[in-house]
Amino acid sequence: MHHAKEAHSYKKIPSHAFVLPKDGPLAELLQTAFPEAYYVEEKGEWRLDYDAAQFPDQGKRIIAFEEAHDIEVQHRY
């Protein structure tokens, strides 16, 4: 996953999507790593909104989570 070197500003806040079950071990790991994540029922995925205040730490945490659990995180706008 590519991450920019400076925080972006957006008209609509983008989010990262984790296509994981709503419940279970991976969902628990996600909630532990990202307490701010929330589940979107109609999409069937977990979301983590972009937060410029956490830049670039948030991106690094996402990459580490992807690699540790062999999953791919999608960008949603």
Cα separation, 5 vs 24, whole angstroms: 34
pLDDT of amino acid 73: 85
**Both structure tokens of 27:** 């969902």
**Both structure tokens of 16:** 């990262």
- Model confidence pLDDT, tens digit, residues 18-75: 889 999 999 999 999 999 999 999 999 999 988 878 778 888 899 999 999 998 888 7
Does 4 or 46 have the greater pLDDT score? 46
Which of helix, strand or coil describes residue 38? Answer: strand
Asked whether the predicted pLDDT for residue 6 surpasses 80, the reply is: no
Contact 45, 77 (CB under 8 A): no
Which of helix, strand or coil describes residue 45? Answer: strand
pTM score over 0.85? no
Confidence of residue 7 (pLDDT cuts 50, 70, 90): low
